[in-house]
């Protein structure tokens, strides 16, 4: 087991609790009054839309509870939700008309610290819910706080990348693989939302109504044009797919052409590095053709501006 895996395992349920006992002993299931379970404050990072809760309540009424929530027993004997806030909200909604839903079955864990509880909450949400990019980034950012605390306490972690530690913690908790690169990409997209998108577009992104590609494209448009673009979207009541098309159109280029230019730039940069740093020979005629093509592209762009 690598050092990263060893550290990450501390934040899995198996690592937090006694590994030698049986699952049913570590996580006993008991029915608890819904009103007696407090929400975890860190859950504020996630959406709890009324429509989604109503749909979940309808599903639970028809099919029952298919995934048991996880709560921790506090030192004062009270309970706090770790994983299952939406299920708890759905039971509360159902209990208004049917008292049989006043209690909810939960797995109960004890001796879990505040720091561990927050890690469990975010990692559990990461794969069990359909999170948008902002919520995923919020989860990994929260893990980052704990990772930095660990790094201060354990000098052996100095050479380990924060993103890799975050990914390992998520994998240890959920059993599903995620890479450090994916963590970095999602956090970068979230930063573009916060730094480059106008307020109404930020709201859409947080609601999960924009794809990562939409966000990256919008980040290339200035604030004034973004406002104009959003007004067009609102006037036409566009759905998610139509909104993507509107954003593509606003940029004035099609995706295949953009990808082709990106590939060309990457390959030309490689050729330049080989010639400059390693003395590789270049075909003069080929270089001339490339210069000519670049001139033609530049003329097209200037005519469109």
Q: Where are the domains of the chain?
A: 18-110, 115-196, 197-251, 255-304
Computed over every residue of the chain, the mean pLDDT equals 82
Q: Can you give the pLDDT at residue 5?
A: 59
Give the range with max mean pLDDT: 32-46, 112-126, 160-174.
32-46
CA distance 286 to 305: 29
* Segment 174-194 mean pLDDT: 85
pLDDT band at 254 (very low <50, low <70, confident <90, very high): low
Residue 76 has pLDDT above 60, yes or no: yes
Q: Can you give the pLDDT at residue 260?
A: 87
CA distance 250 to 259: 17
Q: Can you give the pLDDT at residue 175?
A: 66
Residue 69 has pLDDT above 50, yes or no: yes
CA 145-146-147 angle, to 5 degrees, is: 90
Q: Which residue has the higher pLDDT, 37 or 15?
A: 37
**Contact (Cβ atoms closer than 8 angstroms) between residue 141 and residue 95:** no
Q: What is the dihedral of CA 274, 277, 279, 280, to 10 degrees?
A: 0
Report the 10 Å Cβ neighbour count for 11.
25
Name, in order, each residue with C-beta under 8 angstroms of 13's C-beta and a sequence gap of 6 or more. Answer: 26, 27, 109, 120, 173
The tokens of 183 are what? Answer: 């963590």
Q: Can you give the pLDDT at residue 22?
A: 41
Q: Can you give the pLDDT at residue 34?
A: 95
Q: Can you give the pLDDT at residue 48?
A: 75
Q: Can you give the pLDDT at residue 19?
A: 42
Q: What is the pLDDT of residues 85-142, one digit of tens each?
A: 989 999 999 999 999 999 999 888 888 888 778 877 877 777 666 667 777 787 777 7
pTM of the model: 0.55
Residue 267 has pLDDT above 50, yes or no: yes
Domain 18-110: CATH architecture, name and number where available: Alpha-Beta Complex (3.90)
Q: Which residue has the higher pLDDT, 228 or 157?
A: 228
Element (H, E) at 72: strand 70-73
Q: Output the CA–CA distances (angstroms, integers) from residue 49 to 53, 132, 208, in the order listed.
A: 6, 13, 12
Residue 172 has pLDDT above 80, yes or no: no
**Contact (Cβ atoms closer than 8 angstroms) between residue 57 and residue 90:** yes
* Segment 186-207 mean pLDDT: 91
């Amino acid at each position: 087991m690598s050092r990263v895996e060893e550290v990450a395992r501390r934040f899995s349920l198996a690592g937090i609790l006694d590994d030698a006992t049986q699952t049913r002993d570590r996580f006993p299931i008991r029915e608890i009054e819904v009103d007696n379970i407090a929400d975890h404050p860190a859950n504020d990072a996630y959406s709890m839309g009324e429509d989604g809760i109503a749909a979940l309540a309808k599903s639970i009424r028809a099919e029952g509870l298919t995934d048991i929530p996880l709560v921790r027993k506090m030192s004062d004997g009270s309970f706090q939700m770790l994983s299952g806030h939406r299920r708890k909200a759905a039971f509360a909604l159902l209990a208004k008309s049917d008292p049989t839903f006043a209690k909810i079955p939960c797995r109960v864990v004890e001796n879990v610290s505040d720091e561990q509880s927050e890690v469990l909450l975010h990692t559990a949400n990461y794969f069990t819910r359909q999170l948008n990019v902002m919520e995923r980034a919020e989860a990994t950012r929260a893990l980052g706080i704990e990772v930095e605390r660990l790094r201060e306490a354990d000098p052996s972690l100095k050479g380990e990348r924060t993103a890799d530690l975050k990914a390992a913690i998520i994998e240890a908790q959920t059993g599903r693989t995620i890479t450090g690169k994916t963590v970095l990409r999602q956090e970068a997209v979230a930063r573009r939302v916060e730094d480059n998108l106008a307020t109404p577009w930020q709201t859409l992104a947080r609601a999960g109504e924009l794809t990562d590609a939409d966000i990256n494209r919008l980040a290339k448009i200035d604030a004034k044009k973004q406002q104009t673009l959003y007004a067009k979207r609102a006037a036409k009541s566009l759905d998610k797919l139509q909104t993507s098309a509107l954003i593509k159109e606003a940029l004035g280029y099609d995706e295949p052409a953009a990808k082709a230019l990106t590939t060309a730039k990457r390959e030309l940069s490689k050729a330049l590095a080989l010639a400059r740093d390693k003395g590789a020979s270049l075909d003069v005629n080929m270089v001339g053709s490339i210069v000519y093509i670049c001139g033609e592209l530049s003329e097209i762009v200037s005519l469109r501006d």
